[in-house]
Structure 1
Amino acid sequence: MRVSVGQLCSSASLTRNLHVVYKILNQAIQQKSQILFLPEATDYISQNALHSTELAKQVESSFLQPLLNHIKKLKSSTYVSVGVHLPGGSARKVRNVHLLIDPQGKIVCEYQKIHLFDVDVPNGPILKESNAIEPGNQVTAPFHIPNTKFNVGLAICYDIRFPELSLKLRQLGANILTFPSAFTTKTGQAHWEILSRSRALDTQCFVINAAQCGQHDVGTNLQGDVVKRVSYGESIIVDPWGRVLARGRKFDDELKRDVDDDYYEVITSELDIEELEKIRINMPLLEHRRGDMF
């Protein structure tokens, strides 16, 4: 199966981000990919929790519904995996969700982020995703891609640090795991590739991670200062043996822009189901797991 991963640098403008997604989707269709994977927060990157709750109110009408209609009109055979925000149960919280959309523009699978990135480093940065995000409370069963042998297990960003979720998805039948992300530059440089390859090795799955990349245009704060948000990038496709099949650029690489001053790129790879099955037969990790002890 051929897959594409779209990397971009989302801003606080849902409309602009949507038009970039259209460009990426056109490339994936031209390359005859059966699935396009897009990052976490493809709809928008916000300044803070309050800004996020305001923007989330616009997602359904200004981003998601237009995207679904656009996919339907294209009449292609490409599925789309995308991370977006939707209003939460509380007026002060949003849901960080991962959607899988079929070629008819229908949402066929949805996962809400379970693990939230809450970090308070002494004399260092304070990053509390829980200030704005309502956590999910269930694992979503992998989705089977029709006319293939592939089952896609959905997760999001920080979930990649918790092997239990990946192993659960493998037990439920996944052979592709995907963690759409917006990694910080520091954690990305230290852990992004290691985590991606580790989850592939743990589960003997393909790991396909679309990433936000570069400095996001999220506007200015009340004092008129530009709010700085930078994501690591390096979208990556890893095979079940831990080999990197393709990767995108990082935030400190030259990020080329098109005539509309939009940055985006698409990486593509073929997934070999026979190679995956061979790896699982030769080293049957799932059969060897001691569920009676752990």
Structure 2
Amino acid sequence: MSTIRVAVGQLCSSSNIIHNAKIVNKLITKSISNKVNILFLPEATDYLSRNASHSLELAKQVDDKFLPLIQSHIREEISKIPELEFFVAIGIHQPSPTSNRVQNNLIWLDSKGQILQKYQKLHLFDVNIKNGPILQESKSVEPGTKLVDPFKLNSSSPWKVGLAICYDIRFPELNHTLAKKGANIITYPSAFTTKTGEVHWELLGRTRAVDSQSYVVMPAQCGYHDTKADLDDTAKDSSESVTRVSYGESIIVDPWGKVVVRLSKYTDDLSNHKDSEGDYYEFGYADFDYEHILNIRKNMPLMEQRRRDVFPGILD
């Protein structure tokens, strides 16, 4: 297909993985009813935790409790439009088999709910920003060690997807390598901080799109996360207090750097996007045109014009 429909789903994940799965399934239903081909969901869609030990506890439940609910729902919904080619990219945590940390993974599901690809986040968010966030993701998350090569939607598709996660967006060599290997859709699912989001979120997304001459899809967590949602009321009163807030503003950027989809950010009135059950989530989509990419790359052939003679080993 030279034209495909691509969606971003935005939510505010809590520590209740069952409830988060319920919201994901609402986004899947909405996607399929709108004949979307790919639904991109944020980093840590499965949960946001209170601390490292809590994260590991929840991660052990993802494969058995969270994913089966989503996989079965995909199969149920796609049965209504069996001719639709449908995929879901979703950020989850899984326990590391070699340490007491978790993996921050992005998985790619097909219309049967099967996991076809899995990328483990390479660059971990270890920062100390004055008057901003102080975070050390590496204390609880095990870094990945390899790139996942861009892959086609099917054997005859011109579309190739490159996978990355959140902080990866700040490293242009990753973006360049994905584009060099043929990616024309690159995703950065995120749970961006509010401080960095205000100044860098859109800037980075548009830059990566222009650099790679690809569509860039940035699904985001948005709002104040309930990290005690898995506790009863009594336990909530005495448990560790943690404030987690994510910037939001999921965007889709075309290969010329134009933002073609934009959802709310955390300072907007998110109550406007709650459904009849009181669940917050947002959804937006755009139709991607392969000819648009070809024309941009033909008129400005960046890949061919790179000075590999001056930058050997970097651009190769």
Which TM-score band applies after superposition, normalised by the shorter structure?
Answer: over 0.9
State which of 104, 107, 117 in structure 2 corresponds to 1:99: 107
Does residue 241 of structure 1 match 2:256?
A: yes
The Cα shift of 1:108 comes to: 1.1
Kindly indicate whether the alpha-carbon contact (under 8 Å) linking 1:36 and 1:81 is maintained by their aligned counterparts in 2: yes
* Superposed counterparts of 1:52-63, under 5 Å: 52-63=55-66
Determine the structure 1 residue equivalent to 2:225: 216
Distance (whole Å) between structure 2 residues aligned to residue 280 and residue 123 of structure 1: 41
The Cα shift of 1:123 comes to: 7.5
Determine the structure 1 residue equivalent to 2:97: 89
Determine the structure 1 residue equivalent to 2:294: 277
Gaps of 5+ in 1: none
Q: What is the count of residue pairs matched by the alignment?
A: 294
The Cα shift of 1:66 comes to: 2.4
TM, length-normalised to structure 1: 0.96
Determine the structure 2 residue equivalent to 1:167: 176
Kindly indicate whether the alpha-carbon contact (under 8 Å) linking 1:151 and 1:174 is maintained by their aligned counterparts in 2: yes
Distance (whole Å) between structure 2 residues aligned to residue 161 and residue 53 of structure 1: 27
For 2:242, what is the secondary structure of its paired residue? strand
Distance (whole Å) between structure 1 residues aligned to residue 239 and residue 17 of structure 2: 22
TM, length-normalised to structure 2: 0.89
Kindly indicate whether the alpha-carbon contact (under 8 Å) linking 1:221 and 1:227 is maintained by their aligned counterparts in 2: no
Determine the structure 2 residue equivalent to 1:73: 76
Kindly indicate whether the alpha-carbon contact (under 8 Å) linking 1:153 and 1:178 is maintained by their aligned counterparts in 2: yes
Distance (whole Å) between structure 1 residues aligned to residue 130 and residue 49 of structure 2: 25
State which of 165, 185, 188 in structure 1 corresponds to 2:194: 185
State which of 20, 25, 28 in structure 1 corresponds to 2:23: 20
Determine the structure 2 residue equivalent to 1:231: 246
State which of 268, 291, 300 in structure 2 corresponds to 1:253: 268
Determine the structure 2 residue equivalent to 1:115: 123
The letter of the residue matching 1:129 is E
Distance (whole Å) between structure 2 residues aligned to residue 122 and residue 103 of structure 1: 45
The Cα shift of 1:65 comes to: 2.4
State the Cα RMSD in Å: 1.6
Quote the sequence identity (%).
51
The letter of the residue matching 1:48 is N
The Cα shift of 1:211 comes to: 0.3
Deviations 1:142-181 (A, max 9, x none): 1201253210100000000000001000111100000000
Deviations 1:97-149 (A, max 9, x none): 11111111111111100000001346864200001100001110112012532
Determine the structure 2 residue equivalent to 1:206: 215
